[in-house]
Amino acid sequence: MSAPTRPGLALSALLLAPLAPLAVAPAAAQPADTILSNGKLVTLDAKSSIAQAIAVADGRILAVGDNATIARLAGPHTRRIDLHGRTVIPGLIDSHIHGIRAGLFTTSEVNWIGTRSIAEAMARLTQAAKGQPQDHWLIVAGGWSENQFAEHRLPTQAEIAAAAPGHPIYIQHFYDSVLLSPAGMASLHIAADTDIPGKGHLENTPDGRPSGWISGNVPAITGMFDKLPVPTEAQSLSGTIEFFHDMNRLGVTGIDDPGGFNITAASYRPLFQIWHEGKLTMRVRFSMFAQRRGHELEDYKASLGVMPMGFGDDMLRFNGIGENVDWAMYNNDHPNDAAKAEYRAIAEWAASNGLTLTQHWYMNTAVDSLLDIFEEVNKTHPIAPLRWSIAHLNDASDATLARMKKLGVGWTLQDATYFDGERMKDEIGADAMRRVPPMVSAAKMGVVIGGGTDAHRVNSYNPFSSLQWMLDGLTVGGMKTRDAAELPSREQALRFYTLGSAWFSFDDAKRGSLEPGKQADLAVLDQDYMSVPTERIGRTQSVLTMLGGKIVYEAK
């Protein structure tokens, strides 16, 4: 791991310095550390080139080309890897994922990703309970939907209690509801609505008995999670390593993390320790998420005094503020003048200090309020060089996209409708769903798009599930959403998830494609993403993932 960049170094110096000239001839002057040959390399260069081989030296790509040309770059100690025809892609970059939080809880949570029935989900609870004491919590914190189950319904309290008798169990469904086992309700002392944070409400069965389900708004659900036992620092440390390794298995080599609920400043200690020890297997870019309502600007100013924009190195770097920039404008479809004035003060301060900003905005409703502020700030502090972005914005209108393009504001796009498309269709109608999200339209207009998942509370962190969803527009339950006009090509979708995502952290000149001089971040796939039937793309995994020329994942 290289030494952290000294605090206060200008962002332009950190991220926009030109790459050193690449010396590939004569080969003896700089032999390759590693050569991968006999493959299908999807380079994503300007010509959409497909190559056979790639040479890596000192963590960067030395050359890409045909087998014979690349073979001449070998030296006596070059490691040679025969790809046997396998497809190689640039390492995937999730432009919006709560990966730091996911890592904290990996060892203490049960994962329902990929389960296809309630019985299969219950079996995972049963397996997780084996050998554990009776008071051991079983927690499913998200990343699933009832639409993935053959039964197309939510599990019941009786089912989870039978799967792990006597255990306290917590099941979170997006940010709208939580299911507790009887032992879980007893452990958290939940007996009435007054025992639930925020505006939470105990649901009853048709015959009037408590169902175990608690419904509520975001403060209620996040407040419920805060009642759960906190993993030890050792668990969070090992969980972070485990989570990043599992993402390496899926070909991911970088994430942009926007912070999130249920984490504090102390939550970043495991990540910083792994970075300090040189054990990161992922390039992490992180933003500061507003935690204290009414103290947002105060907290930003205090923190940025010791952690300026661009603090870090190529493995871990601070990348501004968001996705909750200000509580008054978070999930607010009708912000009043006071809320907008509060947000504008923060946005102006961020722009004047050269900070990147990313803003959560779920639907197109009232996004004009946000863009009005961006345009006002832009008059005195141009924001295009700062690469501000909007996350989610699932039903963005053409007018919204045109305003974003004019401002130089990017769009981090997640597969929200993969799990939640049925509900969204009921909410906005079948006609509107035919262009949700309008990714092809946005790309044609020149809006920069980054692929991502928003995992793991609301979606799976599997990038290939997201890529499949981009290409076919189907929900996990098989419902069709987008028309063909909004289905990108395979290469275009892959560009969203690589070069597009790299743009948001000023890294598109360093990574995101397989070109000489760029960081050697790549994934060798177990099937050909470019030709395998679309319905199989979601099952893709990496058999070999490299980060800076080092193997960070290798299949058994």
Look at residue 14 in the predicted model and tell me its pLDDT.
Answer: 26
CATH class of 100-225: alpha beta
**Ranges of each domain in the chain:** 100-225
Helices (H), ranges, 260-366:
269-276, 296-304, 337-352
DSSP 10: -
DSSP 19: P
The tokens of 110 are what?
A: 């049960």
Q: What is the C-alpha to C-alpha distance for residues 56 and 36, in angstroms, rounded to an integer? A: 9
Q: What is the C-alpha to C-alpha distance for residues 275 and 446, in angstroms, rounded to an integer? A: 35
CB 287 within 8 A of CB 321: yes
Q: How far is CA 550 from CA 5, 33, 158, 256, 487, in A?
A: 22, 10, 48, 21, 35
Reduced to 3 states (helix: H, G, I; strand: E, B; else coil), residue 217 is: coil
Q: What is the C-alpha to C-alpha distance for residues 129 and 468, in angstroms, rounded to an integer? A: 33
The number of residues making up the chain comes to: 556
Which parts of the chain register pLDDT below 70? 1-29
Number of Cβ within a 10 Å radius of residue 264:
8
Look at residue 19 in the predicted model and tell me its pLDDT.
Answer: 31
Helices (H), ranges, 106-232:
118-129, 157-163, 182-188, 218-225
| Cis peptide leading into residue 18 (ω within 30°) | no
Q: Is pTM beyond 0.85 here? A: yes
CB 179 within 8 A of CB 215: no
Reduced to 3 states (helix: H, G, I; strand: E, B; else coil), residue 451 is: strand
CB 3 within 8 A of CB 278: no
CB 315 within 8 A of CB 1: yes
Residue type, 457: R
Which H or E run includes 53? strand 53-57
Look at residue 140 in the predicted model and tell me its pLDDT.
Answer: 97
CB 410 within 8 A of CB 503: yes
Look at residue 333 in the predicted model and tell me its pLDDT.
Answer: 83
